């Protein structure tokens, strides 16, 4: 099936909750950037506020991808598996997902303290953690380490993963930021902000679907492969 057609089907299935999540995230992120800029320009000094807003932005940067990927995975896999619903799927998966993502961030940070490139490599290695947590029977039985499983799959599909990361984590975000960042404020340009968020949602679903495809093909190619839900 054409990946764009499949993308539209997933968008139709879970587009509304993902759009709401994306709109809240981008609006809060823009608001935080405005406050950080104001604190930096304040003649009284505002480094404490800068650290506070920066920490809050970092936390959102962790939480949003977790929820976003769970929503897309549900839209891609769960309906066929007769899941009770999106809320139940997220509730079942959010705790182990959060634990593994925080583990990966911790290890990535430690490697980043050495040099930038080792940190980027670890970041790349851990890109498939959400799919291991949500879809791997071995992980759910406690027989597999999510970080090691993700790293092994990424190493075997490095070119595909790198191309997806460059396209969706560098090229598209840079273009959208350079040309359209001034139009993301929902309280100033609501129509433009809504349209840009729809583009973000579509691209997020597409990139997640492509990573999921790599995960599934890599898992099926493993000699110990099992069926995924």
- pLDDT, tens only, 210-228: 898 899 887 765 544 454 4
- The whole-angstrom separation of Cα 3 and Cα 127 is 20
149 vs 90, more confident: 149
pLDDT at residue 171, as a whole number: 93
pLDDT tens figures, 34-54: 888 887 777 776 677 778 888
DSSP letter (8 states) at residue 20: H
User: What is the arithmetic mean of pLDDT over 150-159?
Assistant: 93
pLDDT of residue 161 exceeding 90 = yes
Counts of helices then strands in the chain (DSSP H, E): 10, 0
Phi, psi of 113, rounded to the nearest 5 degrees: -65, -25
In a domain, residue 169? The reply is yes
pLDDT at 93 over 60: yes
Kindly state the tokens that stand for 188.
């100033």
The answer to whether 70 touches 134, Cβ cutoff 8 Å, is yes
Listed in order, strand segments (DSSP E) in the chain are none
Instruction: Say what the pTM is.
Output: 0.81
Give the DSSP letter string of 79-114.
Answer: GGGT-S-HHHHHHHHHHHHHHHHHHHHHHHHHHHTT
Per the prediction, the chain carries an average pLDDT of 82
Rg (CA), the chain: 19
- Mean pLDDT, to the nearest integer, of 90-109? 83
**In this structure, is residue 50 part of a structural domain?**
no
- Inter-axis angle of helices 146-156 and 190-220, nearest 10: 90
**What pLDDT was estimated at residue 84?**
60
Provide the pLDDT for residue 228: 42
228 found inside a domain: no
Residue 205 within a domain: yes
Average pLDDT over residues 169-174: 90
pLDDT recorded at residue 229: 42
| Range scoring the smallest mean pLDDT among 42-46, 125-129, 199-203 | 42-46
Of all residues in the chain, the percent with pLDDT exceeding 70 is 88
Q: 43 lies in a domain?
A: no
Does some domain include residue 42? no
Res 11: pLDDT = 84
Q: Is residue 40 part of a domain?
A: no
Whether residue 100 lies inside any domain: the answer is yes
Count of domains observed in the chain? 1
- Tokens 């089907």, residue? 9
Q: Containing domain of residue 157, as a range?
A: 3-27+66-217
């Amino acid at each position: 099936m054409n990946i764009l057609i499949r993308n539209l089907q997933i968008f139709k299935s879970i587009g509304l909750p993902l759009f709401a999540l994306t709109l809240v995230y981008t609006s809060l992120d823009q608001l935080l950037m405005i406050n950080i800029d104001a604190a930096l320009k304040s003649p009284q000094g505002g480094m404490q506020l800068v650290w506070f807003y920066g920490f809050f932005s970092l936390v959102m940067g962790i939480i949003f991808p977790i929820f976003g990927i769970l929503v897309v995975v549900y839209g891609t896999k769960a309906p066929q598996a007769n899941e009770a619903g999106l809320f139940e799927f997220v509730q079942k998966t959010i705790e182990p997902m959060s634990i593994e993502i925080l583990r990966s961030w911790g290890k990535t940070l430690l490697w980043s303290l050495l040099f930038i490139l080792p940190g980027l490599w670890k970041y790349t290695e851990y890109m498939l953690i959400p799919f291991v947590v949500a879809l791997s029977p071995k992980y759910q039985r406690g027989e597999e380490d999510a970080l090691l499983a993700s790293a092994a799959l990424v190493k075997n599909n490095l070119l595909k993963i790198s191309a997806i990361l460059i396209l969706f984590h560098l090229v598209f975000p840079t273009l959208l930021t350079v040309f359209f960042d001034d139009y993301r404020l929902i309280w100033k340009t609501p129509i433009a902000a809504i349209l840009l968020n729809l583009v973000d949602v579509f691209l997020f679903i597409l990139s997640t679907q492509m990573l999921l495809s790599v995960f599934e093909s890599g898992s099926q190619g493993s000699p110990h492969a099992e069926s995924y839900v």
